[in-house]
Chains A and B, each alone.
Chain A
Amino acid sequence: MNPRESVSATPAIEVRGLHKSFGDKEVLTGIDFHVDQGEVVCVIGPSGSGKSTLLRCVNRLEEPTEGTILVEGIDITDPETDLDKVRTRIGMVFQQFNLFPHLNVLDNLTLAQRRAKKRGKDEARRIAQGNLEKVGLGDRADAFPSQLSGGQQQRVAIARALSMDPDMMLFDEPTSALDPELVGDVLAVMRQLADEGMTMMVVTHEMGFAREVGDRVVFMDGGVVVEQGKPEDVLGNPQHERTQLFLSKVL
């Protein structure tokens, strides 16, 4: 058997029967979901639909109550799995950027490379600088996060995640905390990543991005996947009433 084939046949992310409760409030009520390698999946839905919780379960920032989550075939709900090692392969971008405010941009990008990937100082810096160039901020390596605009901070956060050489990227409403005029720069970087073939799971309210960049759109409501398919189908010709209702409000 060709090992390359067996790898590409394995989904990047596979979620089976996922339940998640906070106290007695069930946020996810049985999710089956997957992202193929190289695929860009946009998850949309009203607030409280559980889409961010689903995303946060994929790198186990949230502990699933029930169900299985496979990342490149590795069961991350298995207590024997080295979670830190799996996480270096899953880049994550947060709504609130979550840059480390006490470190400058370069150190934000090198810290985890050195602590988690045990890279040397020079190698980490070289990789960091390369990723800063990629997001268009090669000249801001010495700046502190507080000196950057929201859009620049989010691009630094993307570069920070990329510096771990992840196989896939999770985006948790990456543009929701940004001033409208700064959204475009961040989306452009994400579009570039998608064009390069990065596997991406994007929780977003940017319907334009979902339509143009997404390979598949997943609509969630009330803790379940209601509808999914090609962007033009789900966004253009939704089958379910709840999808229609949601889209009529946001489009």
Chain B
Amino acid sequence: MKPSTRRRLFQGSLYLVLVIAIVALVFVADWKTIKFYFLDMDVAKQVWPDILVTAAKNTVVYTAIAFVGGLLLGLLLALMKLSPVAPYRWLSTAYIELFRGLPALLVIFGMAYAVPIAFSWHPPGGSAGAGLLALILVSGAYIAETIRAGIQAVPPGQREAARSLGMAPAWTMVSVVLPQAFRIITPPLTNELVILIKDTSLLFIAGMALGDRELTTFARDSLSQTANATPLIMAGLMYLIITLPLTQLVAKLERHQNRGR
């Protein structure tokens, strides 16, 4: 058999497998049941517009708070990790390893239930506040590593140029190194943001008040009330509407950066 024939046969069989799989899925699936449980328009009308104006809004607000908090904490940890003072480095490393090693779900649970008992202290903002604090603690650990990598990716000549002009280390960091570091890490930071959007779904474990519920908590509650999974589908769509533009943006930024090199 000629190599070109063999290649064509191989490609043809790949397509064939795909077609068979799709056809099988369409015939085997129980479309009536799917439509009844997952695409019920009456249920959809019940949860609309609450799922948008309350749940989706809360998801976005929680993400924004956790991201800004995580950025500030991450910046602090990154600077500590690069500090000439050794104990700061150890502290930062220990923190980062701890919170990257623990499941976010467990940290949220601990902040909402264990911390109030152990320290007789309630994080501000009720369950939502406790959960958000936990998300900040966790995302800060990841963002710290991203920022540290960004700082180290700035060419050493930049720091040298600033220092040779007589600029103090702090000004050099603020005016020369950090602006370039953040430009370098915009794609990975946007990825952190996307992960954070989805991690707000873990807040359900904290037990949210009605008006505080984000998309997943809201959809789960609606699921138990209506015995119908349509709200889950709607919540999924909402997540995609929020995350897809961001992941597209990351792809665009990465293409742009690669072209610049």
Contacts and interface: CB of A to CB of B under 8 A. Distances in A.
Nearest to A89: B166
A102 B180 contact: yes
A178 B115 CA distance: 62
Chain A interface bracket (under 10, 10 to 19, 20 to 34, 35 or more)? 20 to 34
Contacts of B179: 102
A112 B165 contact: yes
Given A101-B180, A115-B171, A115-B175, A96 B165 contact: no
Instruction: Point out which of B158, B164, B171, B175 has the most chain A C-beta atoms below 10 A from its C-beta.
Output: B164
A100 interface: yes
B40 interface: no
A100 B165 CA distance: 12
A115 B168 contact: yes
Interface residues of B, number: 18
A92 B164 CA distance: 6
Interface in A205-220: none
B157 interface: yes
A116 B158 contact: no
A19 to B, nearest CB: 21
A84 interface: yes
B158 to A, nearest CB: 6
A10 B180 CA distance: 41
Contacts of A250: none
Given A94-B157, A96-B157, A100-B158, A87 B176 contact: no
Question: What DSSP secondary structure best describes chain B's contact surface?
Answer: helix
Contacts of B60: none
A164 B180 CA distance: 23
Contacts of A157: 161
Nearest to A160: B165
B183 interface: yes
B160 A94 contact: yes
Given A100-B176, A101-B180, A102-B179, A112 B166 contact: yes
Interface string A145-166: 0000000000001001100100
Nearest to A163: B165
B167 interface: yes
A61 B158 contact: no
A87 B161 contact: no
A161 B260 CA distance: 27
A243 interface: no
B35 interface: no
Contacts of A85: 166
Nearest to B157: A98
B168 A94 contact: no
A94 B162 CA distance: 12
A24 B96 CA distance: 34
Given A100-B158, A100-B176, A102-B180, A59 B164 contact: yes
Given A87-B165, A112-B166, A115-B168, 13 more contacts: A61-B160, A61-B163, A84-B168, A87-B163, A87-B166, A98-B160, A100-B162, A101-B180, A112-B165, A115-B171, A116-B167, A116-B171, A157-B161
Interface of B: 155, 157-158, 160-168, 171, 175-176, 179-180, 183
The 4 closest A-B pairs by CB, nearest first: A88-B166, A112-B165, A98-B161, A116-B166
Interface of A: 59, 61, 84-88, 90, 92, 94, 96, 98-102, 111-112, 115-117, 157, 160-161, 164
10 contacts: A61-B160, A61-B164, A96-B157, A98-B161, A100-B158, A111-B162, A111-B165, A115-B175, A116-B167, A164-B165
